[in-house]
A = this chain, B = another copy of it.
Amino acid sequence: MTGRQQRADAQRNYERILEVARTVVEEQGTQASLRDIARRAEVGMGTLYRHFPTREALLEALLRQRFDRLAARAGELEGAGDSHEALRQWLREFLGGASTYRGLTASMMTTISDEGSPLHASCSAMREAAGRLVERAQDDGRIRPDVDGMDVFALVSAVGWIAEQGPVVAERSEHLFSLVLDGLAAGAVSGRARRSAD
């Protein structure tokens, strides 16, 4: 798809845009002005659209590496000793990364329901890798049996979202993260499950 048989100027523009986009999205979030990106990359609007037909396509190019890295990181942590601690650690790293771009958690959440989105594939792969950490912790009886990877992902993303909503709530995000994780731990179940081995 991104075959290397591009014209030299095309290749250069592609990279310029991506580099500038990284900066601008850092500044303005995932809703950054595409016009601003084109301007600062010194290319015409059409050039930006040629390389990245949608905003999502641009984000995908910006995030794929990161998603792949996080998926791989989940693989590493699967071998770690404490399954619950491994999950917690992964989620912490995920959340740290999510905070680099404002609006990123929203983009990831909407992409779940939108299979046509270019972000869908790489984001799903990451979620699935994380899901295996959840399942392992469940097999160890450390996480409630009635949740799945999607639940955990959604709740932790939501904590990331909270942190974006202003300083007063942002300063609580560490605590909120702990509350959510604690809440998902086995033993928190109020009535229906987990009552055999006491």
Chain A interface residues (CB < 8 Å from chain B): 106, 109-110, 112-114, 144, 147, 150-151, 154-155, 157-159, 161-162, 165-170, 172, 175-176, 179-180, 182-185, 187-190
Is the pair A180, B182 in contact by a Cβ cutoff of 8 Å? no
Is the pair B182, A154 in contact by a Cβ cutoff of 8 Å? no
Specify which of B109, B147, B162, B166 is in contact with A165 (CB 8 Å cutoff): B109
Is the pair A172, B154 in contact by a Cβ cutoff of 8 Å? yes
Is the pair A150, B172 in contact by a Cβ cutoff of 8 Å? yes
Q: What residues on B are CB-neighbors of A109 within 8 Å?
A: 162, 165-166, 169
Is the pair A180, B166 in contact by a Cβ cutoff of 8 Å? no
Chain B nearest Cβ from A176, distance in angstroms: 6
Given contacts A109-B169, A165-B113, A172-B151, A188 and B180 within 8 Å (CB-CB) = no
Interchain CA distance A144-B178 in the complex, whole Å: 12
Specify which of B154, B168, B189 is in contact with A169 (CB 8 Å cutoff): B154
Is the pair A180, B155 in contact by a Cβ cutoff of 8 Å? yes
Q: What residues on B are CB-neighbors of A188 within 8 Å?
A: 182-183, 185, 187-188
Chain B nearest Cβ from A185, distance in angstroms: 6
Chain B nearest Cβ from A51, distance in angstroms: 27
Q: What residues on B are CB-neighbors of A162 within 8 Å?
A: 109, 154-155, 157-158
Q: What residues on B are CB-neighbors of A187 within 8 Å?
A: 187-188
Specify which of B106, B166, B176, B190 is in contact with A110 (CB 8 Å cutoff): B166
Specify which of B158, B161, B179 is in contact with A184 (CB 8 Å cutoff): B179
